[in-house]
Structure 1
Amino acid sequence: MSGKAERRDALSVVAEYHEAELGSLVARVGEALDGFRAGGLDAFEADEVLFQYSRAAKELWKFCNLHRPETTAALIRERPPHDWWERGAPNRRR
C-alpha cells in the first residue's frame, strides 16, 4: 500500500472510531437531558453530566488527533481504548 493510501486508510479508521465513541458520549448527554426534563435529575445533576461529557470528549479528541493517524489507527485496531466516559470523570477529593 502506498504512503498516501495508507494515510487515507488510517484517517478513515480514526474518523470512524472517533464518530462512534463521540456518539456514545452524546447519547449519555441525551439521556441526562431527558432525565432532567422528566424531573428525574435536577439542574446540578444534569450539569455534572455535561461537565463530564466535555472532559471525556476532549480526551477522545486528544487521542484521535495528537499523533500520526497511522499510529492512532494501529492502536485502535490492536486494542482500542474504551470508557472515555470514565476518563472524563472529575477527580474527587476525599
Structure 2
Amino acid sequence: MGTKAERRVARERVAAYHEAQLSELVKHVEQEIARFRAGELDVFEVAAVIHRYHRAAQKLWTFCDQSGAHVESTAQLIERMPDAGEAIDWWQRGETAKPKTIP
C-alpha cells in the first residue's frame, strides 16, 4: 500500500478515467436518441439502449470502485492500458448476453 499522497493520486486518476468513460457511454445514448428523433428507432429500441447504458455504467462503476487498497492497482492498470494497446469497451460490456439456442 502506498502513501496517502500516492493513494490520492491513484483516486484522482481512477476518477478521471471513470468520468471520461461515462462521457463515452453517454455519447452512445445521445447518438441513439438522435436516431429515435429521426424516426430510425422506435421507443422500445431506445429503452434497450438506455438499459444497455445502465449495465455498462454499473460495470464501469464496479471497475472504478475506489474503496480500499484496490484503487492503486486499478490506477496502475488504467495507466498501463494505452501502452499495451488495450482498452476496455464498456459499451460492449453492457450488451446483454445472447440467449443460447437449444438444438
Does the TM-score normalized on the shorter chain lie above 0.5? Answer: yes
Q: Would you say 1:51 and 2:51 are equivalent positions?
A: yes
TM-score by length of 2: 0.83
Q: Which amino acid aligns with 1:89?
A: E
Q: Take 2:21 and 2:40, find their aligned partners in 1: how far apart are those partners?
A: 26
How far does the alpha carbon of each residue in 1:55-87 deviate from its partner, in whole angstroms, 9 at most, with x for none? 000000000006621111011011264100111
Q: For 2:95, what is the secondary structure of its paired residue?
A: coil
TM-score by length of 1: 0.90
Q: Which amino acid aligns with 1:69?
A: V
Q: Take 2:43 and 2:92, find their aligned partners in 1: how far apart are those partners?
A: 21
Aligned mate of 1:84, from 78, 86, 90? 90
How far does the alpha carbon of each residue in 1:29-74 deviate from its partner, in whole angstroms, 9 at most, with x for none? 1111111111111111111111110100000000000662111101
Bigger Rg, structure 1 or 2: 2
- The sequence identity of aligned pairs, in percent, is 46
Long gaps (5+) in structure 1: none
Q: CA RMSD in A?
A: 1.6
Q: For 1:7, what is the secondary structure of its paired residue?
A: helix
**Larger fraction in helix:** 1
Long gaps (5+) in structure 2: none
